[in-house]
Structure 1
Amino acid sequence: MPPGDAPSSAPAPSRARYNRIIRFATGVMIQAWWFELVLPRIGLRRVAERTRARRSQRIATRFRVLAVDLGGLMIKVGQFLSARLDVLPPEVTSELEQLQDEVPAVPFVEIRALAEAELGVPLDRAYAWFDEVPVAAASLGQAHRARLADGDEQIAGFAEVVVKVQRPGIDRIVETDLAALRTIGARLSRIGFVADRVDAPALVEEFAATSREEIDYLHEGVNAERFAETFADGARVAAPVVVWERTTRRVLTLSDVTAIKLNDVAALRAAGIDPREVAQAFAGAMFDQLFGAGFFHADPHPGNVFVTPHAPDGSGRTWTLTFIDFGMMGQVPEGLRDGLRKIVIAVAARDGTGLVDGIQRIGVLLPGADTSELERALTALFARFGGMAFGELQNIDPREFRTFADDFGAAMRELPVQLPENFLLITRAVSLTSGVCSALDPAFNVWEAIDPYAQRLLREESRNVVTDAAKSALGYASTLLGLPPKLDVVADKIDRGALSVATPEIDRRFDRLEALVRRTIAAVVFAAMLVGGALLLPAASVVAVILMGASIVPLAFVLAPTRSRALRRARRAGPRRPGSSGGR
């Protein structure tokens, strides 16, 4: 079995699960290779294009069936893809979005056994009431409504709760799925084009760490409290309260915040809530997390965000975005956050050069890359499509899109692209946000949503520029004040002939150039003597033999190791006399 494959010691069910995932991924990759690479090269591009929609839907259906059957991390992959309304065709997203609600529930007898083992008491003692029918069944666990016992209610200040209970055996399922992903990552790393741009094994390990955190409900409880302290103002964003007395690693009890599902447009309108306003508020809340605090909800799919209506109370608040499920949270390092801010400002300003600079700052482009063609393509993109909403883009001639796509493809293929660490969850959060907003409002204009944050970031940048300029001025002043005494020292050394100037890098470059020239000349002489001797051999054998034998001398010079010019010069000069300045 190849390295990275499932260990032979794995139980049969885990091995069978592992093999199903690998077979499916391998089949999709082979099909993509055949239709997207082979057929266009043999003149059958139209065949590939004509069958693409049907093939995409068939693959999506097969994956949905596989994910529902297997559960575990495969559901997470499907949920991510189902939110990519901005880039995936509707035949794919409509198929995969069923994964939000189609996960089969675990029988209650198994849930009861796990919960009682975790809490250490029977359910009827831990809760005054516990609904056997789950309110939601997710890929890693399921949620049940319950009511706190009197003592816990007095401590918490509320009675109605939702209890999350892990799926029995989920630890083993997650490890099997991660083993399959590691194998796929290892195989991708052997493909030069992929390995040059993405460290697939590193991405798998990043995903593995996140997945293990997600099945630790104590970790999720801490994340929920941190999120509430950072973002939950009660007016626009809210979060549930953790009941720590009834929380363990596998059981999590939270205040019941169930309300209108984020993407339920009909229910929103029935409650008098404008879906367009919800899209703007949701985008704003995610921008605050990503570009502000740098601590963000990395799984904001519609099942994890509610819209909670409020009765008029004079404050103007009529509804609130309520986030749940804080198992998958991400953090943006300061350096990466700076690059993202540059990107936001550049997008708002329709600045192709600034956008490329931001992309370089976050590490997607390797240092030294020639970005002129990419800048040209981005400038053309902003000039043609800048300011358009998603709905307006649907009216553009597909051939025009294809032209821009070809330009971008050609520009990106020439660049050394990589996917930096800490970027997987950011990409996921941005993709989900984009998809949800465009579903709520087909005319959603990302330019308008991002403009307030770009303006705020520009103001912050201006303050930083003033601060940096002041620091630079102080540095220059300090340098100027220190120059006179340093110049005195240098002048004194010149007067005494004690100034030594060393240029080791220049010496090394001249050494290499000199050696190259000498070897080239010697090689030409060797070839001339050898060929000349061979040509004279029939007519003047003695001269020919002498020439061919003498050619060994320049050949030996070509093959012999060279010594640096500085070393040869030192040997010619002999031992240095005491007191010598060594200057040139």
Structure 2
Amino acid sequence: MRGGRLGRLWQIHRIVHRYGLREFLDGKPRKTGTPRGERLRLALQELGPVFIKFGQALSTRPDIVPADIALELMKLQDQVPPFPGSEARAIIERALGKPVSELYAEFDETPMASASVAQVHAARLHPVSADDPGFEVVVKVIRPGIEKTIRGDIALMRTLAELATRFSQQAARLRPREIVAEFERIILDELDLMREGASCSQLRRNWLGSPLIYHPLVLWDYTKPDVLTMERIHGVSIRELAYLRELGVDFKKLSERGVEIFFKQVFRDNFFHADMHPGNIIVDASDPQDPRYLAIDFGIVGTLAPSDQRYLAENFLAFFNRDYRRIAELHLESGWIPSSTRVEDFEAAIRTISEPIFGRPIKDISFGFFLMRLFQVARRFDYQVQPQLVLLQKTLLQVEGLGRQLDPELDLWKSAKPIMEEWMRNRLGPAGMLERARAQLPTLAEVLPELATRALKQLDGSDAQRTQLALLALHAQMREGQRALRQAVVGTGLIIAAAIGFACAVTPWISAPVAAAGLLMGWRSRRRP
């Protein structure tokens, strides 16, 4: 084991030297004709699957990695030689507890696709009736021994990150230990195919019946952590643009639908496919004038906190309204930049990166580029970007690139703005506020009387007892009165405040903090019905 690790370290040393990567440690550019981002990409490809995955993860961190390197690392392709089909068969039989011949009527040992973590085989289920040809499926199988390889290479990465932090100020500023820890979490999650199946099922529920996109059915009886079986879908890879053009596919509609899908996943569903590179996009071209997408590979998905959703939508809206002050305020309100930051300074920085963009037609404005520039500028203000936001930014760049490849005249703002405005209305308008209040009412019904009861324990005598009985009656009324939502929420705070105020009147020695708490509850209820 020790000898193998030393051999791997020596291999890494040789590749680092060959591609002149010491400049990432000492900050001294090397005199070569090849850009540093390309040299890093080539080195990672030579180091193998785990390092390729690491480079792909780095490409999603433009807050840490310079833009030229992040863009180059996005080109890393996760293509490795397949492992033997006989090994895949053995893994399936071990995981599912039956011979492959009993599980599937047909199983093709030649893989359809192969990547660093898993590979995919075509298969067909046994027919359930005489006229049933058998349901077509694909079987994804974890690469044998990959977990051991991943853990070994991650251990080496941790060692290298520790050395880089200790001996290079240039490298330490990139926080290599934190980067490796985040990468470990991401890649180990990909080893659990049950997790991927669950993500596919969630996306399928969100979009079932939609004319825009279709997600395959997961067959849970044929799925375990290292084997995933799902419906096989047939279509044309988005890479085959010439063929799609021959078929007469409406590229304008296809590009607009791609944008709509992405923004609805983010703002309507808060659950988005976060690995939208061309290899994962298939088109159903059976009706060329009404094409739809077919989704595959659900190893990486993203979600946002409700506050991130809101601030993201408001940032976009403020950006296209050139309200740079609002963008600066949003960053402070969200805690994305330190509270000590002067709003005027950050506003000026945002204006500097935004104004040149507005000299171009709105259809040429890039959301992804704007976010990347925003992250770069915000880094000067000690801005720590959240992983879910940069995952979103990477996906947005992919969607934009694809959309404009299909239709160079694509106006992203025209497609995205109505979706975000509708979300803002639903989220922040009266209906949205009412729905949130309705969801919180059972908790309020339990918590507010209990708080008041605790306060009244400081009282004694018959007046306190009568007041406590009144509060218990109020508790029962609140349970029955959820139909009158606003009145219940407002009234509860006011009645509790009045009850404690009455108790204070009959028992003057009640502590002032208790009385103040009751009045504050009433005031907050009036302010936020």
Shift of 1:235: 1.1
1:426 paired residue among 371, 392, 410:
392
Q: Corresponding residue for 2:298? A: 326
Higher-RCO chain (CA-CA 8 Å, sequence separation at least 6): 1
Shift of 1:325: 1.5
Q: Corresponding residue for 1:262? A: 238
**CA shift in 2, pair 1:115/1:387, >3 Å:** farther
Q: Distance in 1 between matches of 2:321 and 2:496?
A: 41
**Does 2:11 match 1:30?**
no
User: Which AA in structure 1 matches 2:42?
Assistant: T
Matches within 5 A, 1:399-548: 412=378, 414-420=380-386, 422-460=388-426, 462-463=428-429, 467=433
**Does 2:327 match 1:355?**
yes
Q: Distance in 1 between matches of 2:206 and 2:341?
A: 38
**CA shift in 2, pair 1:476/1:454, >3 Å:** same
Shift of 1:365: 1.4
- CA displacement 1:231-290 (0-9 Å, x = unmatched): 233411211111223222211111111422234322321222233432322222121222
1:274 paired residue among 250, 269, 275:
250
User: Which AA in structure 1 matches 2:291?
Assistant: W
Q: Distance in 2 between matches of 1:480 and 1:158?
A: 66
Identity, % of aligned positions: 24
What secondary structure, in the 3-state scheme, does the structure 2 residue paired with 1:307 have? strand
2:309 paired residue among 337, 358, 362:
337
Q: Distance in 2 between matches of 1:106 and 1:274?
A: 39
User: Which AA in structure 1 matches 2:198?
Assistant: V
What secondary structure, in the 3-state scheme, does the structure 2 residue paired with 1:267 have? helix
For these two proteins, the number of residue pairs brought into alignment is 453
**Does 2:40 match 1:63?**
no
Matches within 5 A, 1:164-175: 164-175=140-151
> Scaled by the length of structure 1, what TM-score is found?
0.64
User: Which AA in structure 1 matches 2:55?
Assistant: V
Q: Distance in 2 between matches of 1:476 and 1:307?
A: 55
Cα RMSD (Å) of the superposition?
4.7
Q: Distance in 2 between matches of 1:192 and 1:360?
A: 29
Q: Distance in 2 between matches of 1:370 and 1:143?
A: 53
2:198 paired residue among 216, 222, 237:
222
What secondary structure, in the 3-state scheme, does the structure 2 residue paired with 1:106 have? coil
Q: Distance in 2 between matches of 1:318 and 1:111?
A: 38
Q: Corresponding residue for 2:358? A: 386
What secondary structure, in the 3-state scheme, does the structure 2 residue paired with 1:245 have? helix
User: Which AA in structure 1 matches 2:282?
Assistant: F
**CA shift in 2, pair 1:52/1:338, >3 Å:** farther
Q: Distance in 2 between matches of 1:96 and 1:482?
A: 58
Contact 1:297 1:330 in 2 (8 A): yes
Q: Corresponding residue for 1:72? A: 50
**CA shift in 2, pair 1:286/1:130, >3 Å:** same
Q: Distance in 1 between matches of 2:122 and 2:88?
A: 13
Q: Corresponding residue for 2:260? A: 284
- CA displacement 1:396-452 (0-9 Å, x = unmatched): xxxxx9xx98x997x646412213354453344334333433444444443333212
Contact 1:239 1:322 in 2 (8 A): yes
1:305 paired residue among 281, 285, 299:
281
Q: Distance in 2 between matches of 1:92 and 1:52?
A: 18
Q: Distance in 2 between matches of 1:107 and 1:389?
A: 52
Identify unmatched segments of 5+ residues in structure 1: 1-9, 40-46, 395-400, 494-498, 500-584
Contact 1:60 1:96 in 2 (8 A): no
1:176 paired residue among 133, 152, 157:
152
Q: Corresponding residue for 2:111? A: 134
What secondary structure, in the 3-state scheme, does the structure 2 residue paired with 1:342 have? helix
Shift of 1:125: 3.0
1:205 paired residue among 173, 181, 206:
181
User: Which AA in structure 1 matches 2:23?
Assistant: Q
Identify unmatched segments of 5+ residues in structure 2: 438-484, 513-529
Contact 1:298 1:426 in 2 (8 A): yes
Q: Corresponding residue for 2:272? A: 296
Q: Distance in 2 between matches of 1:287 and 1:355?
A: 20
Q: Distance in 1 between matches of 2:224 and 2:495?
A: 63
Q: Distance in 2 between matches of 1:112 and 1:133?
A: 11
Structure with larger Rg: 1
Contact 1:140 1:167 in 2 (8 A): yes
Contact 2:37 2:69 in 1 (8 A): no
